[in-house]
Amino acid sequence: MALRCKQERRFSITLLLAGLLCSVIPAVQAEENFDPATHPQVRAMLDSLSEQGLPSRELDAAMVAAEYRPQVLDAMSHAAERRLRWDEYRDIFIQPQRIQQGVAFLKANHEALARAERVYGVPPEVVVAILGVETQYGRHKGTHRVLDSLSTLAFHHPSRGAFFRGELEAFLEITLGQGVDPSTLYGSYAGAMGYPQFIPTSYQAYAVDFDGDGLKDLWNNPVDAIGSIANYFSEHGWQRHQPVLVEAGGPETLPPSIGFNGTEPPSTPVEALKRVGIEPTAGNLVSTDKVVPLALDFADGHVRYVMGLNNFYVITRYNHSHLYAMAVATLAQRIQTTLDEGA
C-alpha cells in the first residue's frame, strides 16, 4: 500500500479482534506469544502507544497480524559474515549497470537533487550513490514484511530486543499515524524501509516531505527519499563543498602503529601518517589535518591507502562500515564521471 495515498485507510479487523479478545489461537506460533491479550510485553507496549493517541483497535489488529519469522533471526545471526576484501565488496556495487542506472536516476531527478544540494549541501551523486547501494535506486526495497521482522526481533532477539521494540513502536507510530496498514509494508530483515532503507527511528528523525504534498513517503516517492538522505547527512555534519577522501601512497607492509579502517571521527594527524611513510597524493592537506586512515586490501596482496575526511565519516553514520563508505564514494565518483563524459 502506498504511503502517498491521502484517503483514510481503515483495516478489516472485526474477525481479528474477535479472535484476540476471545483468546483463541493467536496468529503467531512461537515460543513466545505475540497476542496482546496474553503477552505482557506486547500488551504494555500497545497500552503505552494507545496512551500517546494511537488507535488501540488498530494497534491490537497489527500485532495479531504479526507473524514470527525465524529466518529473520537467522539472517541477523549471520549478518557479521566473513570480512570481505575491498575488491570483493567493491565488485558487488561498482558495476556498469549500476553506474548507468545511477546516471539515469540522476538525470530523471535532477531538479530534486539540485534542490537538495542547495538546501543541505550534499552533492547529487552522493545522494544517488546511497540509493544505488541501498536499493539499486528503488528496485530492491526488501522482501520481508516490516511488521513481522520488527515483531520477531523485538520479542525474540537474544540481546537487542529493547532496541527493536523501540523500532517497532516507531514503525507503528509512522504507519498508523498516516492511516496505513502496517502489515502491508515490506523492507529488509532488520526492518529498514523504502528507497533509502531508513529504520523507523531514522524515518521519524530525518525523513522530510521534500515535494510538499503533506506526506513523508520513503516507499514510493523518490523526491522524499532524496531530501531525506540529504537531510540525514546534513544533520550528521556533512561539510558543503568538501571532499570525502584523499588518495595516498604508502609502504607495502601496514605500519603497526596506525589504526586503519575505523569509523570514528577523523583523529589521526596527517603528520603521524607521513612519519610512517603514508603520504597524500592529492588534495591540499596540511600536517595538522586529521583523517581516518584507510588500507584497502586486494586479492593479490597489495594495499591501497586512502585518507578519509569528515564527509567520509558522515557516510559511515549511515552504515558503520568503512567498506560501505568507500563503495558509496566510489559509486558517486563513477556516476559523476560517466555523467561528465556525456553518457
Q: What is the CATH number of the domain that holds 199?
A: 1.10.8.350
Q: Is 341 a catalytic residue?
A: no
What is the Cα 216 distance to its own chain's centre? Answer: 16
Answer yes or no: are the C-beta atoms of 207 and 218 closer than 8 Å. Answer: yes
- C-alpha angle 199/215/328, rounded to 5°? 40
Render each residue's pLDDT in the chain as its tens digit; 343 residues: 444 443 333 333 333 333 333 333 333 444 455 677 778 899 999 999 999 999 999 999 999 999 999 999 999 887 654 589 999 999 999 999 999 999 999 999 999 999 999 999 999 999 999 999 999 999 999 999 999 999 999 999 999 999 999 999 999 999 999 899 999 999 999 999 999 999 999 999 999 999 999 999 999 999 999 999 999 999 999 999 999 999 999 999 999 999 999 999 999 999 999 999 999 998 899 999 999 999 999 999 999 999 999 999 999 999 999 999 999 999 999 999 999 998 5
Amino acid at 72: V
How far apart (Å, rounded) are the C-alpha atoms in residues 243 and 269? 17
Q: Which of 58, 117, 125, 134 is catalytic?
A: 134
How far apart (Å, rounded) are the C-alpha atoms in residues 16 and 64? 7
**Does the residue 31 lie in any domain?**
yes
pLDDT at 82: 58
- C-alpha angle 173/178/180, rounded to 5°? 90
Answer yes or no: are the C-beta atoms of 132 and 98 closer than 8 Å. Answer: yes
Number of domains in the chain: 1
**Does the residue 338 lie in any domain?**
no
Exposed/middle/buried for 236, CB within 10 Å: 0-12, 13-18, 19+?
middle
CA distances for 127 relative to 142, 195, 253, 320, angstroms: 19, 11, 35, 17
**Does the residue 53 lie in any domain?**
yes
**Does the residue 245 lie in any domain?**
no
**Does the residue 295 lie in any domain?**
no
pLDDT at 192: 97
**Does the residue 59 lie in any domain?**
yes
Among 164, 186, 197, 145, CA closest to 328: 197
Answer yes or no: are the C-beta atoms of 54 and 172 closer than 8 Å. Answer: yes
**Does the residue 311 lie in any domain?**
no
- DSSP annotation of 182 reads G
**Does the residue 51 lie in any domain?**
yes
Domain assignment of residue 190, given as a range: 21-75+142-221
pLDDT at 283: 86
